[in-house]
Amino acid sequence: MTTEIKEEDIARLVPAFYERVRQDRVLGPIFNGAIDDWHHHLGKLQDFWSSVMLTTGRYKGQPMVAHVRHAKHMTADNFARWLALWREVSGELLSPAAATAFQQKADRIAESLQLGVQFYRER
Ligand code: HEM
């Protein structure tokens, strides 16, 4: 059976996740230091996840460029922490099947972001 994911899941997950990120001892200062307009960021991230999970094509940005800009924070430990929070919040808010689908996508995207940032950093 395929897991049904709804816009509404994304609209609950994304703000709750960044709320948790902003309170995190390690990730909080990084995000709070980089992002001024949280309303805009949350809208963009909802578009991103809508494009990823529902193929709506709403997100038009370049995640690699955005993360290379903050390369010094893109460490293996920070990725692990980001993914642990994502797992925690998605597990709390979504059905087990939906949570697993969001977690697997995030794992894959994190892996490619990490490889990409490493590549640009080493040049
Ligand atoms: C944007 C940090 C992992 C998706 C950003 C920004 C920061 C950041 C600071 C704002 C960039 C700016 O506007 O200057 C981090 C850190 C991570 C991490 C510290 C882990 C070490 C991830 C992962 C994903 C993700 C795993 C996806 C699964 C995005 C997206 C944007 C973004 C879509 C918006 C890019 C744009 O401006 O179009 N991130 N991020 N990030 N992040 Fe991350």
Question: Which residue's CA is the nearest one to ligand 1's atom 40?
Answer: 67
What is 7-122's CATH number, 3.90.1010.10, 1.10.490.10, 3.40.1110.10, 1.10.10.10?
1.10.490.10
Q: Is 5 in the pocket of ligand 1 (CB under 6 A)?
A: no
Q: Hey, where are the domains in the chain?
A: 7-122
Cβ-Cβ contacts under 8 Å for 98 (sequence gap 6 or more): 3, 4, 5, 9, 90
Q: What pLDDT score was predicted for residue 118?
A: 87
Q: What pLDDT score was predicted for residue 34?
A: 97
Q: What pLDDT score was predicted for residue 120?
A: 82
Q: Which atom of ligand 1 is nearest to the CA of 105?
A: 28
Cβ-Cβ contacts under 8 Å for 24 (sequence gap 6 or more): 81, 85
Q: What pLDDT score was predicted for residue 17?
A: 98
Q: What pLDDT score was predicted for residue 99?
A: 98
Q: What pLDDT score was predicted for residue 74?
A: 95
Q: What pLDDT score was predicted for residue 103?
A: 98
Positions of the chain with pLDDT under 70: 1-2, 122-123
